[in-house]
Amino acid sequence: MGSSEHSAGEHYTMAGLAEIVKQEIAWYASSGSNLKSYLLTDETAQIYGVTVIDYPVRRHPAGVAVLARVSGDHVIIEEDRTDKPLVDRLVAAGIPREKIILAYANEPLPDLA
């Protein structure tokens, strides 16, 4: 079963959940004609993101396109400035919506202590 073929009720290990998040975030790291994007990962902290810069001429500071982290059995999306929301990709990959927190939209964080 590929990582985008999980059933919605499947239980994930933290490492498996992190791998799905990383794979789905990597999808956003494609460069266009006037910009370059880079996948940023911190495997230890399970934080994954994509930063974007103007290219070849810099007119604006680099910016975060999408940023998410895994905490326990939840995915916390800290930022999503895309026109194809990460939450939709994660749900399509089998992560239950109730396990995804849209921090950028002020959804409350669960007690993850």
Any residues with CB less than 8 A from the CB of 79 and at least 6 apart, and which?
A: 49, 64, 65, 66, 67, 104
- Does residue 4 lie in a domain region? no
pTM for the predicted model, two decimal places = 0.83
16-75 confidence digits (pLDDT tens): 999 999 999 999 998 777 889 999 999 999 999 999 999 888 899 999 999 999 999 999
* CATH number for position 96: 3.30.310.110
| 9 three-state secondary structure | coil
Residue-number span of the structural domain to which 43 is assigned = 14-105
Which residue in 20, 22, 27 sits closest to 6, CA to CA? Answer: 20
Domains of the chain: total = 1
**The pLDDT of residue 7:** 42
pLDDT tens digit sequence for 4-20: 444 444 555 556 999 99
Residue 111 lies in a domain: no
CA–CA dist 92, 28 (Å, integer): 15
